[in-house]
Amino acid sequence: MKQLIVATSNSGKLEEMQVYLSGLDWELALKPKELEIEENGSSFVENAIIKASGVAKALNQWAIADDSGLAVDALDGAPGIYSARFGNSDQDRIDRLLRELEGSKKRTAQFVCAIALCRPDGSLALQTEGICVGEILNTEKGEGGFGYDPIFYVPSTQKTFAEMSSELKNEVSHRGLAFAKLLPQLEELSRSEII
């Protein structure tokens, strides 16, 4: 079985990726906590590549990384790549976003997820992006999920991310869509390259 380093120290993200990549002949492992990669890109794609490439080179292993966040149209795409740093807690981030949108009729937004897979030399092997279009509610709905999930409403499902079952969220979310694009490419790569 081939080893694939997930460019995060977050065990929750490792578990999430294991769900998406189950069935493939890859054993996933977390990057060492002491290995820090500075995310200084200007887009989700750039940050995913920076993380995957940095970890791959440092460990001489295949590495995968994702970078994701919420882009709100009325805020010119903010919080964007700063989604996780938009406040000190999930509730802070939600409260700040709702304050900044107060009085705005334009509530459209999208969750974006970019994924990069890099070879042990740091070169980019695969890159995909998934986008889930929705809108920001005025009040929170639902008990599940994390982050902005209680205020991100997906019209096609008539639910917020926080109201969805994990199966439905995996299917329609930005991350689910990005992995759906990545999987066939990853299977092809596994057949065509010596990994």
Q: Is the pTM higher than 0.85?
A: yes
Phi and psi of 149, rounded to 5°?
-50, -40
Confidence of residue 12 (pLDDT cuts 50, 70, 90): confident
Q: How many domains does the chain have?
A: 1
Domain around 41: 2-192
Confidence of residue 63 (pLDDT cuts 50, 70, 90): very high
> Per-residue pLDDT tens for 21-55?
887 778 888 898 899 898 899 999 999 999 999 99
CATH code of the domain containing 23: 3.90.950.10
The answer to which of 24-28, 45-49, 156-160, 181-185 has the lowest mean pLDDT is: 24-28
Distance, first Cα to last Cα, the chain: 10
Predicted confidence at residue 145, as pLDDT, reads 82
Give the number of other CB atoms < 10 A from CB of residue 110.
18
Alpha-carbon distances of 42 from 48, 94, 122, rounded to whole Å:
11, 23, 19
Predicted confidence at residue 195, as pLDDT, reads 56
The residues annotated as belonging to the active site are 67
Asked whether residue 182 carries a pLDDT value surpassing 70, the answer given is yes
DSSP state letters, 49-83 = HHHHHHHHHHHTSEEEEEEEEEEEGGGTT-BGGGG
